[in-house]
Structure 1
């Protein structure tokens, strides 16, 4: 059968599935730096990217030489295009992979390491740039334009927040004004239990002409392999849908011909289908084939197939469910990308299964949502520019009074200035942090994570914490959270952690790197004098630990002591494995001066550095040790004169 019904996209997506990368911010920044360097090489200065496989292949080799990609791509030009196409979509590089004005600004921020929050939204500079870029970013969906981020802001202004399912399966269906209003009504109806998300998706698909034509074609013809392939509307190749014929026939045998003996064959048929798991979960109450063979009828769920009585009804139900699962599989695939790009703005919270705007962005964008929505289905001709908000849309002018009123209404406060509002919001951040710790970073979870750090089970670490930070950064973050708990949640840990955090208060890694110390401030108490604790963390071991950590740790502490003059301050060095010579070096620092390299008359006579392994940290957690107790243990350990090979066992392990 000739292909007569075209595939048409039914949803938008930010970026491309080929640029699905971990450490998202860091990877983008590294990619910009690589492209910038690549185009300055003499052999590339006058080269052209578009339709030039040689240039694209050279860029792949350049990425590989720099360690950005590993392995050997079968198609280097294609791989190079895929690694960069998502950055074109958000306007930080152009079609020729040259950095745009916006891209150059982002690279400048990254390389300077200046991520200050010097804007109205109090988000890092790079996040503010991503926010402006996403406000301009648009998709062309079969000739129709949509700006996904503006659509998100508009929908949130109408329904306040989205569940993860609403964000995944319904929001991307908003590709026009008409569809957006339908989806908003659908969300409200679903929340009132008047309609299901699956019904909303099916209704949305069947409003499209190609789906209507495909259903009619199925109803009007005998089912063959070619017909199934045609009505499957597969985007890449209709031949991929051949496997649906067997499933169709087995389902028909059971639900139209009432032959329950073929129920096990339905389960078997789903295994031939790429997204067969959707069918199995829908049709069966077990994943055990043996149980299905033993009692097929008992293992079948009651579904829409259960109520069909003739062939036309069966065809209609099969068509709807086939395309429902295809759509949900696609939307599930896009979830990760949409979430990664949207999170770069640091104004959208993804917490407790809900998606909503942070407080100041919420009240600002709610106040302009209807006006901003006028731009939602228009292209943007300044995508590549480093644009001010007001250049993106006339309505994007800051009105502090509107935001202050919104903050007072939401939080029940009575602030009169934006600075007062920010103080209130800082208190709210700490309330959110307490909730995050209580729900995601319990003692049990932290102990589990420390075990994963010891084993370098990076996959599990990222799945528990975040995929937008590398594992060493996550180690520092987890150590910071742990020390906050040990310190009985006293002090401004969000200030003490010298890490970039996203809107959900989770870590993110930047290409520029920088110091990753946790600088904890302790006021005087009956247990200890006022002092600062520098927490240094590393996952390096053996020779790498000696080379990478001995000098930086002592330098950080020495400079701090020289700068503050508080000789009560000290450092805890945390790692998964302690090298004996690292212990010896840090113990030796007790008797060694540290000089100001700019003024040799200034020095400190010895430094207190306490090394500790995660094995002992886990014992501290299990025993419920508090900081005032650890301070005494560390003080006694520092005062000890035991040689290094005995010191750690007797002064740290046995005491903890």
Structure 2
């Protein structure tokens, strides 16, 4: 029987064998560790390619550093998987040396200054990622395609992609002809003339191997070998053996009306090696999910679909072929969604929000200026992948004049924008509009209280699921604390600036910057209820003796240094954690009367106002919708009170927070 080869039909950035949370942080850490690993005298000049021992040595180096845990059965393979994505986007070369582009990113990471310094107003590290994604190309069965550039082209033409379009249609655009057809088909789909499944099948059936497989299926008597051949399995046709049973049981249902076939069919779908594929078949075919239900209801358990209404064998074969390859393709494409999303998001120009994927407003205007030349760029390699080059060196169309960009931005937002300062104001206003919508939708007071309890119990997986997996838990804790305080402050104040965190374009936190200053620095103007002042909020998840050791010195130092630097400005600090520690409370109370000196001893401030407010108290304030003017008075009264630390906290802080809104 003729062999029908598998051929690639879609792109993906990175590899499915390496999915990682804290994406930015892990990239930066790997660049640092590979640089150090390569600088070891015994590793200089050693070839990476086909050198399993050297690859395993790198894995062990990562393990010694704490980057990986446990013992991989094949450490060399694990090392290849962990570095392949960085090689794909040009941060490492084939020999896993850190490239010029990788060194540029590493330098930014080490310095810890991510402040935007580019026309697109995105952080410095994101700008490096953007340039790398613009250069990154896949070879899909001989077709060269730059995935991110294809996305830019489609997003510019279609305004946005739905999650479904991003998942199932964008990766199919591996050449110019397919891209043009998919763009046109998406427009028709949005008009209600067809569905995404129809587009996927139309793309697949343009491929020679799929047409040949269907012709073979229609022409030959069905055998197990035939079904395995027309399955076009990427690894081996033996993996498709369960489809033969599925075909035969479907045949008995359609042509013999065999009421005992559904239960056997349901069992056959569970033998497919990909559980996602098996689940999709069951969803397509059955109204029920258990064999007992299928046995009791016989043919009544089947869905009414074209495959089960086939009038003859040829129609049945066509529908079976369509279902088999549509389900396979959608399973593969859905696997790539997370990869493409992770890599696209690190550019900070792409927003995933409300079921749509689009460009942020300034990048949207920027790439609109690049015009149709973007599409030309999408289907050829870039020779400068590993170099750190300016945008215009990647392609002339990316040399956008600021005046033209600001003129287009003005038309887009309906506000005059003539320079970078005006653009920043427009972007800030739009960011806050999106942030406020997100806070209202995702971080209600009930959700915040739940999250605080999860932090207390260290339910890290659930926290990552609810917030983001691109930040570590301490960073997310600071972020959620800042949002809670934003609600307490009546959703007023420059919280995105105050929280001192690196944020994605989606306004969710990510981990990569070092510390060195207070977690949250909140500025309050004077009102009838309080004077102008600054509030420093120090958030920690450490507890017990670790809490005392970790927070005593930094909290006092941050507040003391701030007061020394800002003269007569009123400033105080709220220390927050998930677990009460009375020794920490006692230490901070003592600082009310202590003198804090500058390093040279020539300057000093008398008394540090540090008040504990644990997550339980913050949840009480949120629940009762107590606003900041009342909180300020509560904390001021507590600060002046004279009691033993434990009794003082229980009465003046915890008790007062409960009483403030009639809580418990």
TM tier relative to shorter chain? over 0.9
1:214 partnered with 2:216 = no
Q: Which runs of 5+ in 1 are unaligned?
A: none
Match of 1:609 in 2: 610
Deviates more, 1:305-314 or 1:191-200: 305-314
Aligned partners of 1:14 and 1:337 also within 8 Å: yes
Match of 1:17 in 2: 16
Match of 2:636 in 1: 635
TM-score, structure 2 normalization: 0.96
Match of 2:49 in 1: 50
**Displacement of 1:421:** 3.0
Match of 1:158 in 2: 157
**Displacement of 1:298:** 4.1
Q: Residues of 1 paired with 2:47 and 2:390: CA distance?
A: 30
Match of 1:653 in 2: 654
Deviates more, 1:508-517 or 1:633-642: 508-517
**Displacement of 1:515:** 4.0
For 1:133-282, list aligned pairs within 5 A: 133-273=132-272, 274=274, 275-282=277-284
**Displacement of 1:514:** 4.9
Aligned partners of 2:518 and 2:555 also within 8 Å: no
**Displacement of 1:418:** 4.1
Q: Residues of 2 paired with 1:218 and 1:110: CA distance?
A: 56
Q: Residues of 2 paired with 1:624 and 1:294: CA distance?
A: 54
> Helix, strand or coil: the match of 1:105?
helix
Deviates more, 1:34-43 or 1:302-311: 302-311
Seen in structure 2, the aligned counterparts of structure 1 residues 250 and 515 have a Cα distance that, compared at 3 Å, is: farther
Cα distance per residue 1:108-151 (max 9 Å; x no partner): 01011010111111110000000001100000111110011111
> Helix, strand or coil: the match of 2:574?
strand
**Displacement of 1:310:** 1.7
Q: Residues of 1 paired with 2:282 and 2:164: CA distance?
A: 20
Q: Residues of 1 paired with 2:368 and 2:287: CA distance?
A: 44
Aligned length: 654
Seen in structure 2, the aligned counterparts of structure 1 residues 539 and 218 have a Cα distance that, compared at 3 Å, is: same
Aligned partners of 2:15 and 2:339 also within 8 Å: yes
Aligned partners of 1:499 and 1:516 also within 8 Å: no
Q: Residues of 2 paired with 1:89 and 1:445: CA distance?
A: 39
Q: Residues of 1 paired with 2:568 and 2:491: CA distance?
A: 23
**Displacement of 1:606:** 1.3
Match of 1:377 in 2: 379
Match of 1:548 in 2: 550
Q: Residues of 1 paired with 2:584 and 2:238: CA distance?
A: 62
1:429 partnered with 2:464 = no
1:623 partnered with 2:624 = yes
Cα distance per residue 1:176-222 (max 9 Å; x no partner): 00000010011001101111100100111111011111112222223
Match of 1:324 in 2: 326
Cα distance per residue 1:569-601 (max 9 Å; x no partner): 11111111122211111111112111101x312
Deviates more, 1:291-300 or 1:26-35: 291-300
> Helix, strand or coil: the match of 2:351?
strand
**Displacement of 1:616:** 1.7
Match of 1:402 in 2: 404
Q: Residues of 2 paired with 1:308 and 1:610: CA distance?
A: 74
Deviates more, 1:241-250 or 1:279-288: 279-288
**Displacement of 1:242:** 1.5
Q: CA RMSD in A?
A: 1.5
Q: Residues of 1 paired with 2:298 and 2:107: CA distance?
A: 63
For 1:402-481, list aligned pairs within 5 A: 402-481=404-483
Q: Residues of 2 paired with 1:319 and 1:288: CA distance?
A: 25
> Helix, strand or coil: the match of 1:115?
coil
Q: Residues of 2 paired with 1:289 and 1:488: CA distance?
A: 55
**Displacement of 1:433:** 1.0
Deviates more, 1:175-184 or 1:438-447: 438-447
**Displacement of 1:511:** 5.9
Cα distance per residue 1:341-396 (max 9 Å; x no partner): 00010001111111111111101101213012211110111100001011000111
Deviates more, 1:475-484 or 1:241-250: 241-250
Aligned partners of 1:364 and 1:399 also within 8 Å: no
Q: Residues of 2 paired with 1:512 and 1:83: CA distance?
A: 23
**Displacement of 1:512:** 4.1
Cα distance per residue 1:557-577 (max 9 Å; x no partner): 111111112453111111111
Q: Residues of 2 paired with 1:243 and 1:405: CA distance?
A: 60
**Displacement of 1:97:** 0.4
Aligned partners of 1:522 and 1:532 also within 8 Å: yes
Q: Residues of 2 paired with 1:566 and 1:262: CA distance?
A: 84
**Displacement of 1:260:** 3.2
> Helix, strand or coil: the match of 1:534?
strand
Seen in structure 2, the aligned counterparts of structure 1 residues 512 and 590 have a Cα distance that, compared at 3 Å, is: closer
Cα distance per residue 1:604-654 (max 9 Å; x no partner): 111111112212221111111111111111111111211112122111111
Aligned partners of 1:497 and 1:518 also within 8 Å: yes
> Helix, strand or coil: the match of 1:569?
strand
Q: Which runs of 5+ in 2 are unaligned?
A: 658-664
Q: Residues of 2 paired with 1:295 and 1:570: CA distance?
A: 70
Seen in structure 2, the aligned counterparts of structure 1 residues 514 and 263 have a Cα distance that, compared at 3 Å, is: farther
Match of 2:661 in 1: none
**1:362 aligned to which of 364, 382, 389:** 364
For 1:484-523, list aligned pairs within 5 A: 484-510=486-512, 512-515=514-517, 517-523=519-525
For 1:502-581, list aligned pairs within 5 A: 502-510=504-512, 512-515=514-517, 517-566=519-568, 568-581=570-583
1:65 partnered with 2:53 = no
Match of 2:340 in 1: 338
Match of 2:115 in 1: 116
Deviates more, 1:336-345 or 1:288-297: 288-297
Aligned partners of 1:48 and 1:96 also within 8 Å: yes
Q: Residues of 1 paired with 2:420 and 2:107: CA distance?
A: 29
> Helix, strand or coil: the match of 2:603?
strand
Seen in structure 2, the aligned counterparts of structure 1 residues 515 and 268 have a Cα distance that, compared at 3 Å, is: farther
Q: Residues of 2 paired with 1:215 and 1:427: CA distance?
A: 55
Deviates more, 1:543-552 or 1:298-307: 298-307
**Displacement of 1:261:** 3.1
Q: Residues of 2 paired with 1:169 and 1:514: CA distance?
A: 44
Q: Residues of 2 paired with 1:546 and 1:293: CA distance?
A: 63
Match of 1:311 in 2: 313
1:284 partnered with 2:286 = yes
